[in-house]
């Protein structure tokens, strides 16, 4: 009789655990389905026709509309609030020495004949712009002050 009662208690426990597991898996699956990432066909076409940072922008030479080489894209900066994207263009220098980095809104760059063109720009005009410098993060400041 004790064994029979114990078997029923164990069976109820296993059933409860199994039911809870099944419900949690179903809930997790429903959550995943309702929060999955989706991209529309229109968005996919835009992405397919867009510029690839790796293939079309990084390290590429920038020309002006007179086909003069005026710099090279060294980096892309995306603002934290999506208010703008900037190309960091290195101007002048030799092997990175004496180079003057400037930030130019990507919207000003044109892609013409497989070249990046910054209309109306010259090396001198870019060199006269304020030099771009990366902002120091809080972590950089903390590391500097802890080394003192």
The 10s digit of each residue's pLDDT in 38-65 is 888 898 888 888 877 888 788 999 999 9
On whether both 25 and 91 belong to a single domain, the answer is: no
**CATH code: domain of residue 105:** 2.30.30.240
Domain residues for the domain of 18 are 1-44
In a domain, 39, yes or no: yes
Residue owning tokens 């164990």: 10
Q: Are residues 32 and 9 in the same domain?
A: yes
* CA separation for the pair 70, 126 (Å, rounded): 8
pLDDT band at 81 (very low <50, low <70, confident <90, very high): confident
Q: pLDDT tens digits, residue range 97-116?
A: 678 999 999 999 998 888 99
Q: What is the pLDDT averaged over residues 13-26? A: 45
Residue 17 has pLDDT above 90, yes or no: no
The answer to whether residues 80 and 128 belong to one domain is: yes
39 plus 65 within the same structural domain: no
Q: Predicted confidence band at 125 (pLDDT cuts at 50, 70, 90)?
A: very high
Domain count, the chain: 2
Kindly give, in sequence order, each residue whose CB lies less than 8 Å from that of residue 35, ignoring residues fewer than 6 positions away. none
- For the ranges 16-20, 35-39, 141-145, the lowest mean pLDDT is seen at 16-20
Q: Checking DSSP bridges between strand 85-91 and strand 100-105, what pairing results, if any?
A: antiparallel
Q: What's residue 21's pLDDT?
A: 45
Q: Per the domain annotation, does 143 fall within a domain?
A: no
**Are residues 93 and 123 located together in one domain of the fold?**
yes
Q: Are residues 111 and 86 in the same domain?
A: yes
Tell whether 59 and 124 lie within a shared domain: yes
- Are 1 and 34 found together in one domain? yes
Q: What is the value of pTM for the model shown? A: 0.61
């Amino acid at each position: 009789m004790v064994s029979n009662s114990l078997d029923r208690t164990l069976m109820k426990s296993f059933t409860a655990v199994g039911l809870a597991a099944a419900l949690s898996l179903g809930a997790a699956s429903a959550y995943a389905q309702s929060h999955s990432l989706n991209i529309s066909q229109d968005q996919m076409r835009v992405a397919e026709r867009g510029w690839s940072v790796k293939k079309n922008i990084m390290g590429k030479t920038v020309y002006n509309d007179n086909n003069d080489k005026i710099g090279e894209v060294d980096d892309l900066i995306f603002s934290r609030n999506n208010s703008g994207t900037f190309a960091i263009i290195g101007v002048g220098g030799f092997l990175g020495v004496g180079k003057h980095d400037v930030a130019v809104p990507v919207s000003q760059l044109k892609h013409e004949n497989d070249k990046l063109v910054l209309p109306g720009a010259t090396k001198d005009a870019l060199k006269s712009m304020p030099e771009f410098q990366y902002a120091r993060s809080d972590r950089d400041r903390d590391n500097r002050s802890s080394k003192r």
